[in-house]
Structure 1
Amino acid sequence: MPLMAEAGIMAGTQSVEATLDEAAAACAARGAQLTDLRRQVLRLILAAPHPIGAYALLDQLRAERPGAAPPTVYRALDFLRQQGLVHRVERLNAFVGCTGAEAHHACGHGHDHPHQFLICSVCGATAEVCDSRVSEAVASAARAAGFRPVRMTVEVEGRCAACAEVT
């Protein structure tokens, strides 16, 4: 799998529509519904070349839904996050599709699995990785400090392979 996943889709090999169909099926299996609006927001996130902010999503959404307002997008994003279909990249205040949501569920990580983001400070490309060694190291350090983590996200800023070659 390439380091920088394209458009938030696993290894760039799966179509956005196939990913959306899998997301709808996963939601249904959990008793939730990927409504047309939620599907549309997820489609926009998956199609974005880089993490995308809520207001950029709103601008794109208004092309098809002129009455869309910020709460419309935020409610959809909350649902998508709860279902483990998207992540918020705190450093960028933006959202990306989860590049392995069902695989994370299969390995027992659930909706809020520990993950790490590699963020290119030059081109903005962002890759999600789920390295258990990183999660275990952070959890161990937290325990040693008497801290009990509830959710774990690590964001690393640097340069992707393509940008590192150029600069």
Structure 2
Amino acid sequence: MATRSDADGPLKDLLARSNLPQTEARLMVLRILHDNPDHHMSAERMCAALVRRDATAAISTFKTAIYDLNNAGVLSRVLVPLNANRAQTLYEIADKPRHRHLYCTVCKTIFEVCDAVMEQRIAHQFDLAGLKPSNFDLARAGKCLACNEARLTSR
């Protein structure tokens, strides 16, 4: 049976590659995100998960760990539009190739779009502008097929 320490190996490797010291709060952030089925969570949901796990780190320490991990590139931020005037920041572990996000405003599902050609074009535009991409994505909002079909059949 694998111990928590064994399961934390890849998470500890992420911290080592980013030259961040390994703290319990940083590992807890990574564990919570890793164990979440959709792998995207707000800071508030992560803090609630921390409280449920009865961790000893203070909420402020935990939030600082989230921001440190994001600044170091271990986490990526995804801004999700909730309505015309509000958005929510979600975080994910930045351990996959660069990708984009689509968001269903009805069922609140996030879809990851992995398209190498699109990413090459975007990288080219960044190069032309002399910019370095950050670990941030703005999710494109819409209504997924399942929610759209449900609406059509409920008429």
1:92-136: CA deviation from partner (whole Å, max 9, x where unpaired): 3121233xx1x54xxxxxxxxx43112222222223334232233
| Aligned pairs, number | 137
Percent of matched pairs sharing the same residue: 23
- Give the whole-Å Cα distance in 2 for the aligned partners of 1:31 and 1:136: 28
Give 1:22 deviation, angstroms. 0.9
Q: What TM-score does the superposition give when structure 2 sets the normalisation length?
A: 0.63
1:69-108 residue pairs with structure 2 within 5 A? Answer: 69-70=59-60, 72-91=61-80, 92-98=88-94, 101=95, 104=97
> Are the counterparts in 2 of residues 122 and 159 from structure 1 also a CA contact under 8 Å?
yes
- Which of these two proteins has the greater Rg computed from alpha carbons? 2
Gaps of 5+ in 2: 81-87
Q: Superposition RMSD on alpha carbons, in Å? A: 3.4
Larger proportion of strand: 2
Q: Which runs of 5+ in 1 are unaligned?
A: 1-15, 105-113
The residue that corresponds to 1:53 in the other structure is 42
Asked if the contact 1:87/1:97 (under 8 Å) is kept, the reply is yes
Question: How is 1:11-160 mapped onto 2 (pairs within 5 angstroms)?
Answer: 20-29=8-17, 31-50=19-38, 51-63=40-52, 64-65=54-55, 68-70=58-60, 72-91=61-80, 92-98=88-94, 101=95, 104=97, 114-140=98-124, 147-151=129-133, 153-160=137-144
- Flag the 1:135–1:78 CA change in 2: closer, same or farther, 3 A: same
Deviation, structure 1 residue 24: 0.9
